[in-house]
Amino acid sequence: MNSANSTILFYKLYPLLLVLVTSLALPGMARAQVYDDGYILNSGDSVRIHVYGEEDLSFDSLLVGQNGRISYPFLGELTVIGKSASQLQAELTASLKPDYLVDPRISVSVIKYRPFFVNGEVQRPGGVDFQPGLTLRKAISLAGGFTERANKKRALVISDSDPDRKEQEVGLDYKVQPGDIITVQDTFF
């Protein structure tokens, strides 16, 4: 096959390859975005903000402080607690557009979630980094597993998203959320 035929073949197959590669990458990206869109920011989270073509306004990691705010150039202290990444993105776009940028293209994503805590009858009680999709069973494994005296069927959880902060008894398939406080109780037998 000569060089001209190779080039023609490449240009005929290129769109097909592009569609194939894109379709393989999109499902994982879509899952992450869906989780981020439903996720509500709180203190201890870290976000990445990228403003296309504006390095001075782009940050790889901004920690949400205990006061629920981040510091951002030109805009000062922004309250982000209680907002999703897409809400923060819309707020930044609206705030930068009139005075600073003509047509800002901004992306905001959560890069590190606040930890959850596992206490009680586990090998290594304490804070654990959150990962989307964690169940109670996996969270206990990350805390070193059960002790011999642990109740291996249920645990108590105080959810960070519950305004009343009430303990609820949950099974091992419970979906752990950032900020949860999990207590593995002991058994009586």
Q: Are 145 and 123 in contact (CB under 8 A)?
A: yes
Give the pLDDT score at 31: 33
In a domain, 180, yes or no: yes
**What is the identity of the amino acid at 38?**
G
In a domain, 14, yes or no: no
Residue 153 in this model has a pLDDT that exceeds 80: yes
Residues 121 and 161 in one domain: yes
105-118 per-position pLDDT tens digit = 999 999 999 999 99
Q: Are 124 and 144 in contact (CB under 8 A)?
A: yes
Q: 1 or 22: which carries more pLDDT confidence?
A: 1
Residues 82 and 104 in one domain: yes
In a domain, 133, yes or no: yes
- What's the domain range around 64? 46-112
- How many other β-carbons are positioned within 10 Å of the β-carbon of residue 155? 28
CATH for 156: 3.10.560.10
Euclidean distance between CA atoms 102 and 100, whole angstroms: 7
Residues 95 and 146 in one domain: no
- Number of domains comprising the chain: 2
Contact residues for 119 (Cβ-Cβ < 8 A; gap 6+): 125, 126, 181, 182, 183, 184
**What is the identity of the amino acid at 181?**
I
Global confidence as pTM: 0.69
42-65 per-position pLDDT tens digit = 999 999 999 999 999 999 999 999
